[in-house]
Structures are given as C-alpha cells and as structure tokens.
A and B are shown apart, each in its own frame.
Chain A
Amino acid sequence: MSVNSRRVRAIVRKDLRDFRRNRSLAVGMAIIPVLFCVQPLVTVFTLDPAAAPALGHEHVLLYMLGIPALVPTFVAAYSVVGERQQGTLEPVLTTPIRREELLLGKALAALLPSLAVAYVVFGLFLAGVKLFAASAVASALIRPPDLLAQLFFTPLLAGWSIWVAILISTRSNDIRVAQQFAVLASLPSIAVTTLAGLSVIRVSLVAGLVAAAALLLLNWIGWRVVSRLFDREQLIIGTR
C-alpha cells in the first residue's frame, strides 16, 4: 500500500489551520502542560542546595515526559469524532483518500503542535530552573543524557498517545467522552515516566534504547491497527 504524501499534507495543513483557530483546543493544549509544571517548579525552586548531590543520581527531568504523553490526547481524541460531529468527515471520505493516509495526516497534525508545546514548555521549565533555582540544584538537574532522553522520547510518547486517542476517537460518538477516555489512556505512559523520574524504575542507556525501539514499533503498530479498525461505514451512518 502506497501512501500519497500530497493527500497526507492536505490533511495536516487543514487540521493545523483548524486547530489554530479553535480557541478551546488551543487553550486546552496550553493549560495542561503549564499545570503539569507548576508543582515540580515550586519544588525545585525551594530545594536546598544541599539536596543537589542526591539529585545527581536521579533523572527528575524524565517527569517532564508526561507532557508529550498528555498534550496530544485532546487534539487526537477530537480528530475523528470532532469531524464526524461537525459533519465534515463524510465529504473527506468521498475523496480518493485512503484511511491510512487520513489517519497519518490526523496523527501528524496532532503531533506537530504537541511537539511544539512539549519542547517550548520544557525549554521554559529549564529556563525557570536555571534562573530561579539554586545553581547547584540546576546543575544537578540539567544533564545531557536527560536532555537527550527528552528530545527523543517526546515524539515517541506523543505518537503513542496520539494513536491511542485516535483509536478512541474512531470508536466514540461524543468529543468530550473521547477526550476523557484518551486522557485516561495516557495515564500509564505518564505513570511510567513519573516513576522513571522518581527513580522507582531504574533508568539506563540500554533500557532507554529498548524503550525507544519498543515505542517506535508501537507507533507503527498503532497506525496499522487504527487504520484496520477505521470503519468508514460505521463512521458515516453513525450507529455504534
């Protein structure tokens, strides 16, 4: 099966334009990561420099990987059921687009703003730590391996959350229900990154590589499975 990149780009461009003008979605995407950062920032700002050596053995920054796991769920959960509710899905499905192309376009359209939000919020978090935390704490906290982990795991975790959310979106009749279920479905990923940040789960280079490979595979499987489960007829006639 070949994927027509032009059709995928058309969906991505259209969705990004739509998201940009959908205030409630934009606010939802922006507020959640800010709320996610408040508690850790307060904790870091108030940390005594004496705590810095202990921080050096932990990977607290991995906690921030919860953001890419959570942020795209709102957009991705909206992607199919939202179109269906506003009556725009049927015209799209009457075009020659394949379901794999439609879903890939939807996923990329959710991924791009999510990456932007996740990286920007992470950058702001780092800036805040650098500026307002004790310098010893900041040095112990901000380490290259954790930055690399953030860089590479952000798209992988976001991608996985997106496929789960799109799957929920294709099986839902209501946008809010889809979004709530998608947030619930992202909790295991958030739990894993949080436990890694708290060093409950031991983090190593090998474990990171295995996790990255597993997530990459899961993303590919997610695309194929969601495409297989995407039922034009059910989505059009609306009986579920």
Chain B
Amino acid sequence: MSDCGRCFEPGIARGPIGPYGDDVGMFGRGGPGRRRVEPEGSEPLPSPGSPSPPGERLGSSRTGTSALSACALSKRFGDRVAFCDVSFEIGHGEVFGFLGPNGAGKTTTVRTLGTLIAPTSGSATIAGMPLTPENGVEIRRRISIMPESPGLYLRLSVVENLECFAELYGTPDPTDNIDRALRAVNLVDRAGDACGTLSKGLRQRVALARALLSDPEILFLDEPTAGLDPVAAREVHELIVALSRSGVTIFLTTHRLEEAERLCDRVAILNTTLRTIGRPAQLRDQLFARTLTVKTLAPLGDPGQVFGGLPAVDGWRQTGPVAYVLTVSDAAVAAPSVTRALVKAGADVLSISESHHSLEDVYLELIDEDETMRAG
C-alpha cells in the first residue's frame, strides 16, 4: 500500500473528482438521472476472504499488497501536462480498465508505469518495486507492455520476432514460452510467416503473444483489440479473463467501453486528471439515478396526483406529451405501484421500462462535463 500520506486505502478512488456537487434539482445537471459522484464513493478491494460478485476477480491476496499503486503521479512535458495527480491501487489478478479520450494521458501513464519515461512527481510501486531509475530493469522483468502499435520486425517471421523477445526477457525455456504464447493467440500455423505479410489483426495478436512471453505479473495492454475482427477480439477477451484467473494483473487501456464494461473489475476514467474510479456498475449508480420511463396512450390529467407519494418513487417529470420519467430508489418496488396507480387513474399504459445506463453513458457524462468546463 502507498505510504505517501495523500493516498487512499487500497482500491479506493482518489484523484481530483470533478465538482458534481452543485444543487441542480430533481434530475441533476446534464439530464435525467444524473447524480453526484463522491470522491470516496469507490469501495476498497475485497479482502482475500470476502466473496466477490459473480464474474469479478478482484483480489489483493497474493502477497497481501497491491500489484500496482500510483500516488499523486504526474508527468509534464515542459508546460504541457500529460497527466496530473493520478492515484490508484490495483489488486493482484485484477483487470483494471483505464479509459479516457485521445490525449488524456493514458499511454503516457502506461509508459511511466512501464519505466519508459520518468514521472515529474509522485510515486508508484509496480509489482512490488518502487518506481525508481535503479529499479527499471527489475520492474521491466516483472511486467510486460503491449503498446498501441504492434511494433514488429516486419522482415522477420513471427517466431523470429518472438525468439528475440524471449531472449531479451531471459526466459529459461524460450521454445516452450514461444509455443505457449503462439497457442494462446492461435497463431501456431502462422509462426513461420513474415510479420510484414500478416494482416493488422494478426500483427496485433503477435504483439500480444510477445507480451505473454515473459509470464508477467502485470500486463499492460494498450488497445489490445484495436483492428481485430469480432471473433479475434472475443478470443483476446477470453485470454484476458484466463490470464486474470491465473493471477496476472491486467492494466487495460481501451476506447471500447463495452469491452471495459465486460472485462474490467474496475475502471478509471482519465482526462489528464483522474475523473473517477470504481466498478462499472458502481459508477453507473453513482452518476445516474435509477429511472422508470412511462408511456401512456393519452396525456395524464394530473400526473402529480398519479405519481406523488408512491413507494420508491422520488420524483417525476414529463418528457413528452405522453412520456414521463420517474426517479426511483428501487425499480422493482416502484414499477408495480406505478402500474397500479396508472390503472387506477384510468390511464392506458403503453409501456413502463427501467432506464439502463452503460459505462459509455458514464464516460460521456464525465468527459462532456470536462469539455463544458473548459469551454466555460
């Protein structure tokens, strides 16, 4: 765990969270269902013995410490801020999504954590090693980075590329490691092909195989499915899950929000500063209130009387002549009572549906807010 005194407990979000606290009425600023996100809203990583929600693989149990932690990490290039005051902790075997728009500082963060560039300020611990110039070689021995661009030697064959990197990583049995890596990305039959003859998607898979050669503790994946067809992307997803289950910590940078939502135990959204961090579902709940959308055949005579005082209904507003959005604390409780109230009022109900917000909604909401603030 970080000891800089400015950091959070393991797994708890820090970093500058935007000013979401404005009192903006029933539905909040930015549209219906929007909620305030509190800096302390993220929960700590589960303890080794605590049950994880289905499909989640959080844990810091391997050594009792986090696999990766950053504390107030910043990088400037002259006057330009690449990223600023970034803090987080990642547990062993966790799939951590790192999201943000182009130029947000994601790749620079990965490069900094990968010892390729030095931070301007702040500290980090990677695979148990403090991020210092002296520890660079040892850190790089324990991690692996798949950069955004595959960066293959195009005149060399797939296996020649992997041979080179297996030697650079000092793997004890390069042939075995190469074989396993090729099988993991389904490229055994293309091992002898020159990389220059491969499609973009296949090159991406070679780069992924290269990243697997060293059996890393932490694997940084920068857009691993960019350019892959859906089948190949699904294979990569399965590989990520399998790696995570085997205890590899995955730091996943992606623009594919559905990918992050499906794969990541937690996500962080970076836009130079860390905007938020947490489980995707938790972020949705923090940012957006649960709502029911009601559509009727004809406008209600007195909607206030119909919706007022119903259990689990916190508020309502009319969004169209025959459409109403209700803010609810529990949709399962609210929906039946709303239905009964509508029937009692003699309304012809066309539909009652619960609004679903995706990670994309969270992302767009936060980034839009940044843009608005900058414009303002």
Q: Given the complex of chains A and B, what is the CA–CA distance between A10 and B111 in angstroms?
A: 23
Answer yes or no: A4 CB below 8 A from chain B CBs: yes
Q: Which residues of A contact B342 (CB under 8 A)?
A: none
Answer yes or no: A94 CB below 8 A from chain B CBs: yes
Q: Which residues of A contact B150 (CB under 8 A)?
A: 87
Near B by CB (< 8 A), chain A positions 1-48 give 4, 6-7, 9-11, 13-14, 17-18, 21-22
Assess the A96–B141 pair: CB atoms within 8 A.
yes
**Residue from A22, A94, A237 within 8 A of B114 (CB atoms):** A94
Near B by CB (< 8 A), chain A positions 69-121 give 86-98
Assess the A239–B153 pair: CB atoms within 8 A.
no
**Residue from B117, B164, B169, B214 within 8 A of A13 (CB atoms):** B164
Q: Given the complex of chains A and B, what is the CA–CA distance between A119 and B132 in angstroms?
A: 46
Assess the A98–B137 pair: CB atoms within 8 A.
yes
Q: Which residues of A contact B167 (CB under 8 A)?
A: 6-7, 9-10, 13
- Surface stretch bound by A, among B154-162, B239-247, B363-371: B154-162
Q: Which residues of B contact A233 (CB under 8 A)?
A: 116-118
Known: A13-B164, A14-B153, A17-B156. A94 touches B144 (CB 8 A): yes
Answer yes or no: A232 CB below 8 A from chain B CBs: yes
Chain A interface size band reads 20 to 34
Q: Which residues of A contact B140 (CB under 8 A)?
A: 94-96
Interface of A is mostly: helix
**Residue from B118, B144, B153, B170 within 8 A of A6 (CB atoms):** B170
Q: Which residues of B contact A87 (CB under 8 A)?
A: 147, 149-151
Answer yes or no: A217 CB below 8 A from chain B CBs: no
B contact residues, total (Cβ < 8 Å):
33
Q: Which residues of A contact B257 (CB under 8 A)?
A: none
Binary interface encoding of chain B residues 149-191 relative to chain A, with 1 for a CB under 8 A from any of its CBs, else 0: 1111111100010011101111000000000000000000000
Q: Given the complex of chains A and B, what is the CA–CA distance between A181 and B121 in angstroms?
A: 37
Assess the B151–A7 pair: CB atoms within 8 A.
no
**Which residue on A lies nearest to B160, using beta carbons?**
A17
Q: Given the complex of chains A and B, what is the CA–CA distance between A88 and B147 in angstroms?
A: 10
**Which residue on B lies nearest to A6, using beta carbons?**
B167
**Residue from A11, A14, A88 within 8 A of B151 (CB atoms):** A88
Q: Which residues of A contact B156 (CB under 8 A)?
A: 14, 17-18, 21
**Which residue on B lies nearest to A239, using beta carbons?**
B77
Known: A232-B116, A232-B117, A237-B117. A91 touches B137 (CB 8 A): no
Distance in angstroms from B222 CB to nearest chain A CB is 10
Answer yes or no: B210 CB below 8 A from chain A CBs: yes
Known: A17-B156, A87-B149, A98-B137. A92 touches B168 (CB 8 A): yes
Q: Given the complex of chains A and B, what is the CA–CA distance between A89 and B168 in angstroms?
A: 13
Assess the B170–A4 pair: CB atoms within 8 A.
yes
Distance in angstroms from A227 CB to nearest chain B CB is 14
Q: Which residues of A contact B127 (CB under 8 A)?
A: none
Q: Which residues of A contact B117 (CB under 8 A)?
A: 232-233, 236-237
Known: A10-B168, A94-B116, A236-B117. A88 touches B153 (CB 8 A): yes
Known: A17-B156, A18-B155, A22-B155. A91 touches B210 (CB 8 A): yes
Distance in angstroms from B13 CB to nearest chain A CB is 28
**Residue from A10, A86, A93 within 8 A of B164 (CB atoms):** A10
Q: Which residues of B contact A93 (CB under 8 A)?
A: 116
Q: Given the complex of chains A and B, what is the CA–CA distance between A88 and B210 in angstroms?
A: 12
**Which residue on A lies nearest to B220, using beta carbons?**
A94
Distance in angstroms from A215 CB to nearest chain B CB is 30
Q: Which residues of B contact A236 (CB under 8 A)?
A: 111, 116-117
**Which residue on A lies nearest to B157, using beta carbons?**
A17
Assess the A95–B149 pair: CB atoms within 8 A.
no
6 other A-B residue contacts (CB within 8 Å) besides A7-B167, A86-B151: A4-B170, A86-B154, A87-B149, A95-B168, A96-B141, A96-B170
Ordered nearest first, which 5 A-B pairs have the shortest CB separation? A10-B167, A21-B155, A95-B168, A14-B164, A87-B151
Q: Enumerate 7 A-B pairs (CB-CB under 8 Å) in ascending A order.
A: A17-B153, A18-B155, A86-B154, A88-B152, A90-B116, A90-B149, A237-B111
